[in-house]
Every structure is written in C-alpha cells, then in structure tokens.
Amino acid sequence: MIKKSIIIGVILVLAGAAIGMVSKNWNYVLIFNGGIGIIAFLLATAYVKVFGSATTYGKVGKYKKSNNNITNAVFAFGGINIIGTIIIYIISLI
C-alpha cells in the first residue's frame, strides 16, 4: 500500500515537472502538485480523527491495523507531492 502510493506520488511529481518544462509556466505545476499534497495530508488527518490511528482512538471507534496502512500511505503520498513541489520550485528558480 505504502509502496504503491509512493510510486504514484513520484509519477505525479514527474508529470508536473514535465508539464512545467513544456509549458515554461511553473505556477501551474506548483499549484497542481502542492494542492494534491496538501489535500492528501488533510484527508489522512481527517481519517485519523474519525477512525483512529496506531496510537489513538478515533471518533468511530477502535483503531484497526488496516487503517494505519491507509493513513501511512496517504501521508507518504502527500509528503512526496509536497517535497516534489519544493524541488520543482527550486529548479524553476534556477
């Protein structure tokens, strides 16, 4: 689950970089990848609040191990998109 989300995240970052190189407009790329990363983080945070994580109990009830895998995957995905966005931003400044 986590590996898949990391791969998808990397593909999206690379796709964003390709769009930026072709269009020469990095603003779209930053909004696109940054937006996806932030949305993924917010979704994962909301999921933890409702269903609970490895360490906490959510509103709905006890934590299940599968929940933790899902939230970790979403956090990894969001993190990669945000890191990728920062890297793309640095490249765009050069």
Q: How confident is the model at residue 60 (pLDDT cuts 50, 70, 90)?
A: low
Whether residue 88 has pLDDT greater than 60 = yes
Q: How confident is the model at residue 48 (pLDDT cuts 50, 70, 90)?
A: confident
Higher pLDDT, 65 or 32: 32
Quick one: tokens of 68? Answer: 């933790």
Q: How confident is the model at residue 11 (pLDDT cuts 50, 70, 90)?
A: confident
Quick one: tokens of 78? Answer: 């969001």
Q: How confident is the model at residue 1 (pLDDT cuts 50, 70, 90)?
A: low
DSSP string, 6-64: HHHHHHHHHHHHHHHHHH--HHHHHHHHHHHHHHHHHHHHHHHHHHB-SSSB-SSSS--
pTM of the model: 0.59
Higher pLDDT, 83 or 48: 83
